[in-house]
Amino acid sequence: MSETRKLAAILVADVVGYSRLTGTDEERTLARLRGLRSDLIDPAMAAHHGRIVKRTGDGAIIEFRSVVDAVRCAIEVQTGLADRNAGVAPVKRIEFRAGIHVGDVVEESDGDLMGDGVNIAARLEGLCEAAGICLSEDVIPHSGYGVGGGYDSSRYGGRQVWSWSMTVTRGLSTFVCARSCGLTGNSIHRI
C-alpha cells in the first residue's frame, strides 16, 4: 500500500451529546443532522476548500491545505449552528465541538489520513466544550486571528501540546472567547 507524508491542517469535529439526542429521538436527530450537513457544513467545507477524510456518524475528520481556511470553516459552522439553535431548548440542540491542528500526516492510497496530525486534532476536539473550537499552538500563528489568553498543556506521545479554546456565540456581533481549555481566565477578541 502506497503512502505519502505531507503537512496538513486537520479539523476533527463531533456532535456533543449525540447518544443522548439519538436516544431521545433518533429519527428527528438524524434528519436534523442530515439537514445541517447539506445546508451548512458541506457548503462551508466547500467554500473553505476542505476535504472530508472520514465521517464518523456524528462527526468528521476534515483536511485543509490552509490553517486559515480550517479556522474560518470551523467559525462559520459554529456561528451557523448558534443561529439555528436560537430558541431551541438546550437539551435538543445539536452542538459541535472541534479540534484543529496543523502537522505532519500520512496519506494512504485510499485518501485516509493517519499520524500525529490527526491524533492531536482528535485529542483537542475531546478537550472542547459544546460550541467550542480548540486550536493547537501550531495553528495560532497561521490562523489569521490574534487569539490571546491562557494556555492549556496536555501530553501527547510524551511531549507537551499547548492549545487554546474558543466558543462561538451570537449576539449583536460575533465574538470569539479565547479561553484556555479547562482552566480559568479568558479574554474576548472581535473577529
Chain segment 30-41, per-residue pLDDT in tens: 999 999 999 999
Q: What is the 8-class DSSP label of residue 137? A: T
Checking if the pLDDT of 76 tops 80, the result is: yes
pLDDT per position as a tens digit, 103-156: 999 999 999 999 989 998 998 898 888 888 888 878 877 776 544 434 444 544
Average pLDDT over residues 48-60: 95
Checking if the pLDDT of 175 tops 70, the result is: no
Checking if the pLDDT of 82 tops 70, the result is: yes
Record the pTM.
0.79
Separation between Cα atoms, residue 89 and residue 52, nearest integer Å: 30
3-190: CATH superfamily:
Nucleotide cyclase, GGDEF domain (3.30.70.1230)
Q: How many CA atoms lie within 13 A of 34 on its CB side?
A: 6
What is the H or E stretch that residue 25 is in?
helix 18-36
